[in-house]
Structure 1
Amino acid sequence: MRSIGETARDSGLGVSALRFYDRAGVLVPAWVDPVSGYRWYEPEQLPEARLLARLRRAGMPLADIRLVLASWSGADTDLVRKLLKTHLCRLEQGLSDARGEFSALRALLDQRENAMTSLSIATARVSVAAPELAAALDAVRFAASTDPELPMLGGVLLDIEGESLHVVATDRYRMAVAQAGTSGHDGARVQVIVPTPLADAMRALLGGEGPVRLSVDGDRVELETDGRQAAGQCLDHDFPDYRRLLPRTAGRRTVVEVPAFREALRTGPVRPGEGGGHDLSVLRVADGGTVALCAEGAEDPDRVAVNREFLLDALTAGARDRLILELGAPTAPIAIRRPDDEGAFSVLMPVRLED
């Protein structure tokens, strides 16, 4: 017989998906070890598992999948053909509906853009301590996007408001926020997106301890310190309203010792992500408030899956030996905070597990 891991590997279904279909009575293993609960499959079940994987990728509802599998080996294929045709029509109708909705959304965007008859020229000149700005850039740089299809995320947002400067970066799957104190600006809020190469050039100048001058003049931004400058054009895009992306409610908070937690992530159990492109670490808050890594067989309903490399990057950017992890529901973002600086934190989007 074949183990559940072998069946998952050769069928294209995840281990957790096989468990789900067993519980649903769709693909039941030939034998389950009464002691360990480990599932075993006959070799003859592999073609059925591969068929199930195809239907799953096509988004067929579970009720229809059940009927297709039950009728697949029969001589009369009419029911299977009708189910496939019905689902294809459902997908085509859904695509048509989506196109209609997107067309309406584009029209709304056109109306908004046409209503903007004039654009105010943003200007700001602030003084900020070099170590604070350097720390803020270091805390967010890892989250900047490299996707050419999303140029508005290919930089670092500088958000100047009152006596504070918020520095933000996101690539949709993670977001990092930091802040630094400023002086010299008493005007309206100013936001500019600094391209990542220019942000890196600015960071290279921040080796001193004194204040530096940050200037925004329309579509240009400049950092000056000790007679040296890094200047260039801002990205001509609007950055998403990052404040709306912040977690609304605090999850379960636990303090982690970063060196030990990083080592546990590197050597502990992982699950393959969708398409095998990245490894997932599955976390849960154990008794006593500590964070534990879930092994493959664990089915804790409160477990949260996250891209392991993204989490390791966030721990490095946290720049502390101890950090606070906030874990909420399995679909809620994970927050990584500094115990001594609530203004600097990272947010990671969870990854849905197949179950």
Structure 2
Amino acid sequence: MRSIGEMAQDSGLSVSALRFYDGAGVLAPAWVDPVSGYCWYGPEQLEEAQLLARLRRAGMPLADIRLVLAGWSSADTDLVRKLLQAHLCRLELGLSDARIEFSAVRAILERRENPMALLHTDAVRMAVSAPELAAALDAVRFAASTDPELPMLGGVLFDIEGESLQVVATDRYRMAVAHAATAGHGGSRVQVTVPIPLADAMRALLNGEEPLQLAVDGARMTLETGDRQAAGQCLDHDFPDYRRLVRLPAGRRSLVDVPAFREALETGPVRASEVRKQDCVPCDLSVLKVATDGSVTVCEDGDDDPNNVAVNREFLLHALAAGARDQLILEFGAPTAPLAIRRSDTENTFSMLMPVSLDN
């Protein structure tokens, strides 16, 4: 027999929670001392209490938990499985509804925060270098979102202002920005978000040196090179104001040899015991440390220096590949600030990764 204090310690439920579940008729003690009123639990009740704790953490209603425990004690596995599946379906439906509502709220917020984005009514036509535009698309493509609940991020932003074209993609956890020079527009700012399939079709045309024309007519984007063309409708969503998101305070800069650093990431330790979920997808973490000489190393398990920065290893490898240089600059701010990956030859092409907290 376990006392109520021992049961609390072994099950993960507090003493007050055990008393509450007793009163609710969910988990009654095996014996109550008639004189002192003290509660005692049988050996078989520990597993039930641990199950109860897990189900409550999963948000299952008490009425369903009572049925699960009844089925558990009678070995009615079919009942238990059906109740678990029904609750999981409710959670998934609730999460889907919440995502839709949050997506709508974010869209409203972005329209309020970015009121100056032009309505795409005036035709714009400009010349762009094929190698420059190809390099810009290659530098940002990896950061585009594939989340159907965030349609405003499911493309590449073409931000045209004067003779400058900024190409931007983000999935919230990472952002990439690249620059390409243009000629022939020189007018006011125009922004369009090109859906990923159209952006990929445009990139497929950019394999030569021949001049090309980029045109925006209303919400339609057209790329012409020689006798070939890629065209389609742009997304009917406002892209977030990325200029506000990239204003980072200066941090510690480290020049890294990309092939060697990539090998260190691919073969180095990951926090396998502390796998986190980003956007409901499990990810391995690489924890980075900047030494006093500016070198960057991948930390071993047990290095809990609060200045270390943990990032999604796969995302960092993608950013290094998109940087397309043998040497890149990693810029570290606070452990909770984005990690910037920059080229040494330009400040206009870079990417950022959000760090991942190591706190349980």
TM-score over 0.5 for the alignment?
A: yes
Q: Percent identity?
A: 66
Output the amino acid matched with 2:188.
Answer: A
TM-score by length of 1: 0.69
Aligned residue identity for 1:267: T
Please, what is the CA RMSD of the aligned residues? 3.7
Q: What is the 5 A alignment of 1:1-355? A: 48=9, 51=12, 75=38, 119=119, 121-272=121-272, 273-274=275-276, 277-354=282-359
SS in 2 for 1:341: coil
- Asked if the contact 1:122/1:190 (under 8 Å) is kept, the reply is no
Cα distance change on mapping 1:112 and 1:172 into 2, 3 Å = closer
CA distance in 1, matches of 2:310, 2:348: 25
User: Shift of the alpha carbon at 1:119?
Assistant: 4.8
Whole-Å Cα distance in 2 between the matches of residues 322 and 109 of structure 1? 38
1:75–1:296 Cα change, 3 Å: farther
| C-alpha distance in 1 between matches for 2:138 and 2:110 | 37
User: Within 1, Cα distance between the matches of 2:338 and 2:110?
Assistant: 32
CA distance in 2: counterparts of 1:66 and 1:253, whole angstroms: 51
Amino acid at match of 2:352: V
Is contact 1:162–1:187 with CA below 8 Å preserved after alignment? yes
Q: 2:153 corresponds to which letter in structure 1? A: L
Q: C-alpha distance in 2, partners of 1:186/1:204? A: 27
After TM superposition, the runs of 4+ consecutive aligned structure 1 residues lying more than 3 A away are 45-50, 65-69, 71-77, 108-113
1:343 is paired with a residue of what secondary structure? Answer: coil
Counterpart residue type for residue 334 of structure 2: A
CA contact (8 A) 1:304 1:330 kept: yes
TM-score after normalising by structure 2: 0.68
Q: Distance in 2 between matches of 1:241 and 1:111?
A: 10
**Cα gap change, 1:331/1:49 in structure 2, threshold over 3 Å: closer, same or farther?**
farther
Deviation at 1:274, TM superposition (A): 2.0
Q: 1:110 to 1:151 in 2, by over 3 A?
A: closer
Which amino acid is the alignment partner of residue 280 of structure 1? L
* Mapped contact 2:110–2:241 kept (Cα < 8 A): no
SS at match of 1:168: strand
In the TM superposition, what is the alpha-carbon distance from 1:210 to its structure 2 partner?
A: 3.0
The structural deviation recorded for 1:109 is 6.5
The verdict on how the C-alpha distance between 1:256 and 1:49 changes in structure 2, with shifts beyond 3 A counting, is farther
Map of 1:94 onto structure 2: none
> How many Å apart are 1:269 and its aligned residue?
0.7
The residue identity in structure 1 corresponding to 2:255 is V
Q: How many angstroms apart in 2 are the aligned matches of 1:349 and 1:228?
A: 39
Cα deviation digits, residues 12-70 of structure 1 (max 9, x gap): xxxxxxxxxxxxxxxxxxxxxxxxxxxxxxxxx99958728xxxxxxxxxxxx79879x
Question: CA deviation digits over 1:240-272, x for unaligned, max 9?
Answer: 000111142121100000000000000101013
Specify the alignment match of 1:31 in structure 2: none
CA contact (8 A) 2:288 2:298 kept: yes
Tell me the distance in 2 between the aligned counterparts of 1:111 and 1:319.
34
Residues 1:66 and 1:211: Cα distance change in structure 2 (over 3 Å): farther
Which amino acid is the alignment partner of residue 51 of structure 1? G
Q: Which residue number corresponds to residue 95 of structure 1?
A: none
Rounded to whole Å, the distance in 2 between the matches of 1:245 and 1:128 is 26
Counterpart-to-counterpart distance in 2, 1:182 and 1:76: 78
1:202, 1:223 within 8 Å by CA — same for their partners in 2? yes
Instruction: Report deviation, 1:209.
Output: 1.4
5+ unaligned residues in a row in structure 2: which ranges? 1-5, 22-28, 30-36, 41-52, 58-97
Q: Helix, strand or coil for the counterpart of 2:169?
A: strand
Task: Name the count of aligned residue pairs.
Answer: 276
Question: 3-state SS of the aligned residue for 1:352?
Answer: coil
How far does residue 75 in structure 1 lie from its aligned partner after superposition? 4.4
Structure-2 separation of matches of 1:295 and 1:50: 32
Report if aligned partners of 1:282, 1:303 keep a CA contact under 8 Å in 2: yes
From the superposition, tell whether residues 354 and 228 of structure 1 become closer, same or farther in structure 2 (CA, over 3 Å).
Answer: same
Q: Which amino acid aligns with 2:224?
A: E
Check 1:75–1:314 CA distance in 2 against 1; reply closer, same or farther (3 A cut): farther
CA distance in 1, matches of 2:142, 2:166: 16
CA contact (8 A) 2:133 2:180 kept: yes
Distance between the aligned counterparts of 2:110 and 2:338, measured in 1? 32
- Provide the rounded CA distance (Å) in 1 between the counterparts of 2:15 and 2:359: 18
Distance 1:49 1:315 in 2: 46
In 1, Cα distance between the equivalents of 2:111 and 2:143? 32
